[in-house]
Amino acid sequence: VKEDYQKLLEMWREEKARVKELENSLAIALEVNDKHQRYNGKLQVRLTEVEEDNKKLSKQVEDKEDVVNNLRQKGLM
């Protein structure tokens, strides 16, 4: 009986240590996930800004092309 108790006690201690290890791993993974989510949010904001800038620049290029084409049609270029 005492041997069985000691065996069970040792198994319980091992499982307790394993649970603690897994909880620690989970905490680390959750922290990494949180940081990545925040960083991805910032990247999404920046991507939206870059896309808006790109649209504005594209419009400016089109406007300049229109000016050049008008000057060519008038024979000024």
pLDDT by residue for the chain (77 residues), tens digit each? 899 999 999 999 999 999 999 999 999 999 999 999 999 999 999 999 999 999 999 999 999 999 999 999 999 88
What does pTM read for this prediction? 0.65
Residue 7's H or E segment, with its range, is helix 2-73
Domain ranges of the chain: 1-76
Cβ neighbours of residue 68 under 8 Å, at least 6 residues apart?
A: 77
Exposure string (b/e) for 33-45, b if CB count within 10 Å is 16 or more? Answer: eeeeeeeeeeeee
Position 77 scores a pLDDT of 81
Contact at 8 Å (CB) between 45 and 36? no
